[in-house]
Structure 1
Amino acid sequence: MHDLPSDSLALVLLVFVLGLKHGFDADHLATIDGLTRYNASVRPRLARFCGSLFSLGHGAVVVAIAVGASLLSQGWAAPEWLESSGTWISITFLILLGVLNLRAVYAAAPHEMVHPVGLKGRWVGRFGRVTHPGGVALVGAMFAFSFDTVSQAALFAMAGVQAGGWMPSAGLGLTFMLGMLLADGANGLWISTLIARADATARIASRVMALAVAGISLLVAAWSLVRMLAPALDAWGEGKALFFGMAVIAVIFTSFLLGLRLARGREPALEAPG
């Protein structure tokens, strides 16, 4: 828990940014992409809200775990091996996600949009083709039962206990859910817009975003690996989690704007008779 600030305002801001960053996880993007595409033809009005519903289900489990862990954690401290093993698992998954999304970009045909690739999406099976709001939220809840999400919820529980008990833990969980809701909700709306367009703008924007997600996954994995192996750099990065989280969000947002700008710049040439 050494990366969490002791100041209450800074802690809340950091947890919110972590929620935003978590919402841009490749697994979230890939699953919301699939849910939105399936509902675009079956229930178009639901399609645009798939990201928000997914995030609400996911966040509800995070809050429940944070509250439950805070009630059970009086006098308990997380073992040191938990943080190190969690970091190695995160590095492995980030590298896989980065490589798979790079492969998706280069494997897509010129006339196709790039679909983000996730690892957890294969677990949901037929639940990835639900057409009920509660079913979409259930898929999000299922995604919360993973090592990285549970470990983050436990982290909020520990911080909440130090701040006074289960209520601060619940507040941190809700703050995390709010950040994630903004990211996932925006992603669902964006995907539904790209599906509706299905033109050059959609194809180019999807490629730029996929490259950005892949690049960030690999960079975050590299940074985590270097911090594990270089104590001096790890000490330098202490207390800068908020800065790095905001930098990741800024890169993704900039990539989105860049994708739209590049697409609009090429539209006349692509639409010209020839």
Structure 2
Amino acid sequence: MRRLTPAARGVLLTIALLLVFSWTLMALVLVPNEASLGTAATGVGMAVTAFLLGVRHAFDADHIAAIDNTSRKLTDDGKDPSGVGLWFALGHSTVVVVAVGLVTAGVGALTAQLGADDSPLVVVTGVWGPTVSSLFLLVMAAVNLWILVGLVRGRGVHDGRPRGGGPVSLMIGRLSATLDAPWKLFIVGLLFGLGFDTASTIAILVLAGGAGAALPWQAAMVVPLLFAAGMATCDGLNSIVTARIYRWSVDRPGRRRRYNIALMSISISVALVVGVVGMCGVLVDTVGVGWGPVQAIAATDLDVFGFVIVAVLLLAWAASWAMSRRRRGVAFTP
């Protein structure tokens, strides 16, 4: 297996700095003020809860699928996708940090909107979040499927991207060209984060709102920073592992073609499943579609699906490692 790339080392350094900064800030700002919360353990407990909520949020199926499919696409473009997860997490966290900042600053209108299930903000963001994530995943599935078709037909990985021809080819080609660098996942994460529709995000807003009522604003802001640190750590490590898997799969495509096709098929299937379930949920909850099959798909529970995807990726990494070890000892032909 290869050594870490410069981009991967940069991701690890950024994660380390974010962890040191957020936990140091907790010790210096939150702990000295935790007596205001009523018990000596409340401040530390709040910090740990915020961090673990960020970790859990990183394993949401739409996060994992977005990072996975974008990494696949950038690898096929010959680029290093190691920073995809970190950029995505930073974009998503920016929305949470800003929202908590407004809440702790006493913006009553926002607090009231978030506290009412039927408020315009909750209704709009409840539609926005799943719609944006589902459309993004379906688009990435289409882009990667186009590349996979070219690979199955015998073209090299880098020759499988859409070229001139019909309108579908032109549309996919333009969509593919738009997402051409890891930093653009910051924008994608930002768009994902604008939908306050996940339990962990809502929990952070409630947690920080309660802290803001009893603590100075700087102490309350430690909560979203720890949430961001937890999410950035897991999403960042996920993209590093994913990048290594996909870089290995496209090296020597003649010898690893079947492995590459299998890995791409899994990636595309994951994006399609999560994207279709999300869109069906929007159709049922917002449009009021009552067709049985659509309702059944919308009711699919994806809470643990993100962990399943990560497990599959780790198995793929283990398989690539075993193949590399075997190839060093004897001639290997998959």
TM-score by length of 1: 0.64
Please, which runs of 5 or more residues in structure 2 have no aligned partner?
1-47, 115-120, 162-171, 209-219, 285-289
Verify the 8 A CA contact 1:70 1:169 in the aligned structure 2: yes
C-alpha deviation, 1:139, in angstroms:
4.5
Distance apart, 1:212 and its partner CA: 0.7
Q: CA deviation at 1:173?
A: 1.6
Asked if residue 148 in structure 1 is aligned to residue 192 in structure 2, the reply is yes
Q: Alpha carbon RMSD of aligned pairs, Å? A: 4.3
Matched, 1:207 2:278: no
Tell me what 1:14 maps to: 56
**Gap change, CA 1:56 and 1:253, over 3 Å in 2:** closer
In the other structure, the counterpart of 2:239 is 184
Aligned residue in 1 for 2:92: 62
Matches within 5 A, 1:192-231: 192-195=247-250, 197-228=251-282, 229=284
Distance in 2 between residues matched to 1:216 and 1:235, nearest whole Å: 16
2:124 is the counterpart of 1:81: yes
How far has the Cα of 1:201 moved from its partner?
A: 4.2
Of the three residues 212, 223, 245, the one matched with 2:306 is: 245
Greater CA deviation, 250-259 or 66-75?
250-259
Counterpart of 1:46? none
Give percent identity, aligned residues only: 11
**Which residue type is aligned with residue 166 of structure 1?**
M
1:14-72, Cα deviation, whole Å (9 max, x unpaired): 223239615634224323553xx25xxxxxxxxxxx43444444433433332122111
Counterpart residue number, 2:134: 91
Deviates more, 1:251-260 or 1:90-99: 251-260
Alpha-carbon displacement from aligned partner over 1:152-196 (angstroms, at most 9, x marks no partner): 69976643231134322221122111111111111222344345x
Rounded to whole Å, the distance in 1 between the matches of 2:150 and 2:86 is 33
* Aligned position for 2:37: none
C-alpha separation in 2, matches of 1:189 and 1:153: 32
**Match of 1:51, as an amino acid?**
P
Tell me what 1:102 maps to: 145
Task: Give the secondary structure class of the aligned counterpart of 2:81.
Answer: helix
Amino acid at match of 2:230: T
Cα distance in 2 for partners of 1:157, 1:90 equals 15
Output one character per residue of 1:110-130: Cα deviation in whole Å (capped at 9) or x when no partner: 3623779898653356xx4xx
Contact kept? 2:66, 2:271, Cα under 8 Å: no
The 1:149/1:110 distance shift into structure 2, 3 A limit, reads farther
Q: Distance in 2 between matches of 1:81 and 1:64?
A: 19
Corresponding pairs, count: 237
Measured after TM superposition, the shift of residue 249 of structure 1 is 2.4
Equivalents in 1 of 2:323, 2:142: separation in Å? 24
Structure 1 CA distance for aligned equivalents of residues 230 and 173 of structure 2: 25
* Compared CA separation, residues 27 and 51, structure 1 to 2 (3 A): closer
Match of 2:195, SS state, is helix
- Give yes or no for the alignment of 1:160 onto 2:214: no
